[in-house]
Structure 1
Amino acid sequence: MKKSIRLRARALARFSAPALSVLSLAVAASVQAQGIEVNPVVVSASRMEQPLSDVLSSVSVITRADIDKSQAVTLADLLQGEAGFEFGRNGGPGATTSFFLRGQESKSVVVLIDGVRSQIDGAGALTITDLPLNQIEQVEVLRGNAGALYGESAIGGVINIITRSRKGAPKAYGIATIGSRKTGDLSVGYGGRADETSFDLNAGVSGTAGFSAMNADKSASVNPDRDAYRNQYAAAKVDQRIDPTLRVGIRGSLKNSVIDYDDSNWGSGLKTDTHQLLIKTDLVGGYVNKRLTENWVTNFDATAANYSYDAVKNGLVASDGYYAGHQDVFRWSNNYAIHSSTTLNFGLDQSNEKFQQRSSYDLNRDTTSYSLGMTSKLDRWSLQGNVRRDELTMNRLSGSALKKEYANNNHLLGLGYQLSEPWRLTSTMSTAFRAPTGSELAYGGPNLLPETHRSQELGVVYSVDKALMRVVYFQTKTQDAIDWLTNGYNNVGEVRNRGYEFTARLDVWGNNIKASYVSQDPLNVTGNYLPGRRAKQYGSFDISRWISGYEVGTKFVGASDRGDINSSSSGTLAGYTTWTFYASRKIDTDWTARVKLENAFNRNYELAGGYNTPGRGIFATLQYQPK
């Protein structure tokens, strides 16, 4: 294995150096360039603040400026084309959405909101995939195994969402969008800093008349009417500095969504049937941040969150269509600087999650985790080490009572070497695990084992003022993978993935460029089939520049063929490419007008078998954002 990794590292260096050298010469010759943020600070890679160029793992960052420019409708649309990220969706905005990172199952992805692990439901599915983008300041996509940092299920990686914050004197801000399919979005907010208090308040409504979620030509029982989406949301965040060493804060949010969807009922439904999901989520939390000494900062954080799903058919709530969950999370985290080049982080995480389904089972899931990490710089060398122990108890209270306990120790080891001022080599080795979900235990029995995971990563980084590029080779292996067979969930054996990722953010002669490309080979080794909805090649290219006061640009996204579901006999989702064209103009220092032509060539493609995706659409946005 070590010999194989060394050979691939040499091949990677031979492949990447000439290509990156050409790009670096172009960047060096850049003149009259508009400044862009190519090296922002991130926290997800080590649980400590680091410039993006310094992290050893593979991370991408989406800033608030990127979000504004994209005019994306949902988090999935915003992330589409990012290296390592793929998704499946059963229709349009708001529909059931699955996130895949590094080719892993959607149950093997962790989403953090302001550092707090977001809720999942009893089946392990994420409950916040349609988080309003107007509430987001920055998104970090940490690719690859992060179990030693963030615990159970952080196998494919972590999506770290930092909610919106404003600096300077308090000011109002807002954004309004109208467009195709009767789409509308209105969001307003007020935030800033007054004396020792920083705060942000925002609220909004959004909706679309949509399109038929399912392809009626593929099922005689699908209702061909439009499937709409409506959303109402609000959030607040307040931070108070008590003295130079002490800060306290509170945050809260709520969201109500109504989602029309199609359900063919495996061919037994009627074309006149209508289906809706009524989804409610809320969250409230608080924290205390204290600098105990010059070198030691400690943070206490507590959060409570709820969600509920009601499935409605023909105007009536289905008797087995109610799902609800509650989550309490407590975190104690610490950063301690041993000296200027070495920092420790350590802490304790506890969570209690409750899941309910009206006609099936009630489940409690309790987790206690202990973590220790270190980052250090020694001359040209960079080091990172993390260890974590997770102790998890699953307790099913109704139906066939069941109690299961799991404990797992995981580690991450990272090493970097600065070859020269712009060039750097990186490597990581890590382990992780995923315990069975409530649904998997219900339909798989008490003998299900946790999945275990190992990964290695080698990278080459090129970083200068106006460019940050990374080429990575990765390989992952999962043992005791949990999957559905004929009569239930089983440990099916080995799943692996390996491949290359390329990411770039640069400014060349005034052209702002963001690009990614992934070539991977995910495989269920035991069953000898490609895991569903994951492509062997995919990527994106986004280029824009300022011309006579207008920023104009285009974004290309493409993916190769994919299987539909996790089965050797599943149908194939054809490869696709989409083009988006966009433009913006500053009306004055506070107002910006934007327009976007999405899926410009009206490409018909699928992200889930039998489900439609948005066709060509044009959208106009007016944004008020004082400096």
Structure 2
Amino acid sequence: MSASISRAARLPSAARLSATLASLAPSVTPRFALSTLALSLMATAAVAQEAPNKLGQVQVTATRSKLDLSQVLADVTVLTRADIERQGFGNLVDLLGRQSCVELVRNGNPGTNTSLFLRGANTQHTLLLVDGVRMDTQSGSGGAAWEAIPLAQIERVEIVRGAASSVYGSDAVAGVIQVFTRKGKRTPTIEIGAGVGSLGLVRGDFSISGAAGDLDYALSLAEEVADGFNIRKVLNDPAYNPDIDGWRMHSANARLGYQLDKGQRLELVNTYSALDSAYDAAAKPKPGVEDRNLHNTRATRGLWSAQWTPDWQTEVSIGDSRERYETLTNQASTYLTETQVRQYTLGSTMKLAVGQLNAVLERREDKLVNSGLMPSTGGQAKRHQNAIAASYLYSDAAVDAQLHLRHDQDSAFGGINTGTVAAGWRFLPGWRAWASAGTAFRAPTLYQSFSEYGPKPGVAALNPERGRNAELGLNWSQGDSELSLTVYNNRIRDLISWDSGFAANCVSTYGGCYGNLAKVRLQGVSLQGETQLFRLRVQGGVDFQNPRDLATDKLLGRRAKKHGNLRIEKTLDQWSGGIQLQAHGSRFDDNANTKPLGGYSLVNLDVGYRVNPQLRLQANLDNAFNKNYETAKGYSQAPRTLFIGLRFTPTL
């Protein structure tokens, strides 16, 4: 480690790093890359240029109400449409995978099964919202279908790290990721995007938005097709002819809003995506055998927001998400599951003489259709949760404080209380320290509770998984330079595990059954920053984490103890360009820590040219040095890919 740090320390500036990265990248190790990232971030404190501060952006996910980022008492990242348009290859998770505290595990191409680990937690411990609509699948261990969320419809993404069940209820154990789709603007706008790339990739999207009187509208359509690549490695068999696994996705988003009067608005939004992706059920598929998975995802929300007085606002909404997943072999269905999650919400925000009070009444209804459920269910299972929550937010020149309390009553396991308390102090100009402590939970999925591998009649129901999180943060900002350090400790107990010890509790077994067993501890330190160095924009993060099973003292599978990212970009007249380094340390493919996975570093390049105010060209070279790596053992990740696209916004 000392040799790597010494080598990195000789790089005096981001300019030199940019010039030498290309020559170093083929031999870059994750250890060297992570050392470079950490040192580059530390350098952000040395140079500050006066410019508009990014903390003026409005952020809503952390507290469920509008709040300036400078007042948020959590580790938060906001990604804008400009960040999204720089993404050349992949979907939402590829964008998230370049952010701090996020790791991805994918079984092949962008359309295959994908898990997202936020701060080392399981994929089902991060809540995904699309325009406020909860996205979740109730089959297996649950969690969002991350691979089924396209980029084309997205306007903004907010990432909130840390326990948030006291605001959002079940699932927000490690954090919340909220996606906001495009909205209509007063000026009529048409936007057209198109591009081609490696692996037979062809992509196109179209959007139109505008307003007529008190009515505003937005419509987006997108299509993506790719021939793909072979996702399963075949070793020591020269005679075997590997197959190529491609994918196809089309998506649509429609939003309609109506301003009843100055303080009253109605809104209806619907987002839909359909994904058809090839995968390999076996390492060596027999000739003529084709395996595919089909995802159909929909999120719909109706909203009535009312500003009754300058200090009092209410929102009433109904959200509905549906996720249908089917696997096919030679066009014959081999597995089918469908999840519906419906949510009714009444929220109120009131500004007080000192601070602000938020209150929420909420009802969640889950439904699962799955042939693996117990026969007594008729292949369907349902449940509901009723919740009441309240938050108090306080802020003045030097101090911010928040208190969040929530009670959820579940039809299966009863009531559960969660809470979060947080405080921040601006002790010097540009400096703020903050701390928070909170509890969280994740309800068992309907499959875990009502399949033949769940508790049989007469046996106690599964308990929810429970988390207890504490974190400390230190932030510095000056001009357009920022640096943040976060230390966290999240303990999760009653994790639902598949274990042979529960065999007596269920109807049938296949090597085990579901039960509350495991305990894990997620500890870590996250350093993030950005600044202007020698007229270059430099931003990145480095994470040191220790996600462990407390019973075995083993690292959780597929999590690296060190990972990070660094981006350097420059805009000059009509040109813009960037280079991004991603580095992940070694991991184990299994929780027993017997199957090692090597670390890897990736270099991604992008360049853009604005021909005129209406037309912009872009080129992306991802995995520029064609790194051969795995996030799950035996599954190849995308090779070097080139994407060339254009974005046209005609004047109307």
TM-score, length-scaled by structure 1: 0.90
Hey, what does 2:560 align to over in structure 1?
535
Confirm whether residue 476 of structure 1 aligns to residue 490 of structure 2: yes
Identify which of 588, 597, 603 aligns with 1:563. 588
Hey, what does 1:608 align to over in structure 2?
632
- Matched residues in 1 for 2:328 and 2:516: separation? 34
- Matched residues in 1 for 2:53 and 2:601: separation? 27
Superposed, which structure 2 residues align to 1:18-417 within 5 Å?
Answer: 23-28=44-49, 37=54, 39-123=56-140, 124-217=142-235, 224-264=242-282, 270=286, 272-318=288-334, 321-339=335-353, 342-360=355-373, 361-393=379-411, 404-417=412-425
8 Å CA contact 2:610–2:616 kept in 1: the answer is yes
Q: CA deviation at 1:372?
A: 0.4
Hey, what does 2:440 align to over in structure 1?
432
8 Å CA contact 1:223–1:272 kept in 2: the answer is no
Matched residue of 1:181: which SS?
helix
Hey, what does 2:21 align to over in structure 1?
none
CA 1:494–1:307: 2 relative to 1, 3 Å: closer
8 Å CA contact 1:38–1:506 kept in 2: the answer is no
Q: Percent identity?
A: 26
- Matched residues in 2 for 1:228 and 1:38: separation? 41
8 Å CA contact 2:71–2:395 kept in 1: the answer is no
8 Å CA contact 2:250–2:274 kept in 1: the answer is yes
**1:505-541 Cα shifts (integer Å, max 9, x gaps):** 3333432222011101110011221111111111100
CA 1:21–1:75: 2 relative to 1, 3 Å: closer
**1:287-324 Cα shifts (integer Å, max 9, x gaps):** 11111222110001112232222211022122xx1111
- Matched residues in 1 for 2:325 and 2:522: separation? 34
Which amino acid in 2 is paired with 1:231? Answer: M
Q: CA deviation at 1:201?
A: 0.4
Moved more, 142-151 or 124-133: 124-133
Whose RCO is larger (CA < 8 A, sep 6+)? 2
Matched residue of 1:606: which SS?
coil
8 Å CA contact 1:528–1:568 kept in 2: the answer is no
Q: CA deviation at 1:358?
A: 2.8
Q: CA deviation at 1:551?
A: 0.7
Which amino acid in 2 is paired with 1:276? Answer: R
- Matched residues in 1 for 2:242 and 2:535: separation? 47
Hey, what does 1:7 align to over in structure 2?
none
Q: CA deviation at 1:574?
A: 1.0
Matched residue of 1:462: which SS?
strand
**1:391-447 Cα shifts (integer Å, max 9, x gaps):** 122xxxxxxxxxx32321000000000012200001100001122222333324254
8 Å CA contact 1:215–1:222 kept in 2: the answer is no
Which amino acid in 1 is paired with 2:310? Answer: E
Matched residue of 2:541: which SS?
strand
8 Å CA contact 2:41–2:527 kept in 1: the answer is no
Matched residue of 2:85: which SS?
helix
8 Å CA contact 1:299–1:332 kept in 2: the answer is yes
- Matched residues in 2 for 1:221 and 1:440: separation? 43
Which amino acid in 2 is paired with 1:466? Answer: D
Aligned residues, how many? 591
Matched residue of 2:554: which SS?
coil
CA 1:210–1:218: 2 relative to 1, 3 Å: farther
CA 1:587–1:478: 2 relative to 1, 3 Å: same
- Matched residues in 1 for 2:61 and 2:134: separation? 12
Hey, what does 1:396 align to over in structure 2?
none
Matched residue of 1:600: which SS?
coil
8 Å CA contact 1:343–1:375 kept in 2: the answer is yes
- Matched residues in 1 for 2:62 and 2:257: separation? 25
CA 1:620–1:438: 2 relative to 1, 3 Å: same
Hey, what does 2:619 align to over in structure 1?
595
8 Å CA contact 2:110–2:147 kept in 1: the answer is no
8 Å CA contact 2:133–2:320 kept in 1: the answer is no
- Matched residues in 2 for 1:525 and 1:574: separation? 24
- Matched residues in 1 for 2:300 and 2:425: separation? 42
**1:351-372 Cα shifts (integer Å, max 9, x gaps):** 2111111353421121111110
- Matched residues in 1 for 2:196 and 2:55: separation? 31
Q: CA RMSD in A?
A: 2.4
Moved more, 269-278 or 208-217: 269-278
**1:195-248 Cα shifts (integer Å, max 9, x gaps):** 322221011111111111222239999982111101111110011111011100
Moved more, 571-580 or 433-442: 433-442
**1:572-618 Cα shifts (integer Å, max 9, x gaps):** 22111000111001110011100011101111111111111001111
- Matched residues in 2 for 1:500 and 1:167: separation? 41
Which amino acid in 1 is paired with 2:343? Answer: V
Hey, what does 2:603 align to over in structure 1?
579
Confirm whether residue 515 of structure 1 aligns to residue 540 of structure 2: yes
Q: CA deviation at 1:462?
A: 1.0
Q: CA deviation at 1:285?
A: 2.5
Matched residue of 1:585: which SS?
strand
CA 1:419–1:20: 2 relative to 1, 3 Å: farther
Moved more, 276-285 or 295-304: 276-285
8 Å CA contact 2:116–2:146 kept in 1: the answer is no
8 Å CA contact 2:304–2:316 kept in 1: the answer is yes
Identify which of 601, 617, 621 aligns with 2:641. 617
Q: CA deviation at 1:38?
A: 6.0
- Matched residues in 1 for 2:178 and 2:310: separation? 28
User: Structure 2 unaligned runs (5+)?
Assistant: 1-38, 374-378, 501-511
8 Å CA contact 1:222–1:262 kept in 2: the answer is no
Q: CA deviation at 1:272?
A: 4.1
Hey, what does 2:528 align to over in structure 1?
503
- Matched residues in 1 for 2:405 and 2:640: separation? 48
CA 1:43–1:221: 2 relative to 1, 3 Å: farther
CA 1:218–1:412: 2 relative to 1, 3 Å: farther
- Matched residues in 2 for 1:353 and 1:232: separation? 26
8 Å CA contact 1:107–1:153 kept in 2: the answer is yes
- Matched residues in 2 for 1:130 and 1:512: separation? 32
Matched residue of 2:136: which SS?
coil
- Matched residues in 2 for 1:449 and 1:462: separation? 41
CA 1:129–1:257: 2 relative to 1, 3 Å: closer
8 Å CA contact 1:236–1:253 kept in 2: the answer is yes
Q: CA deviation at 1:20?
A: 7.9
- Matched residues in 1 for 2:574 and 2:303: separation? 43
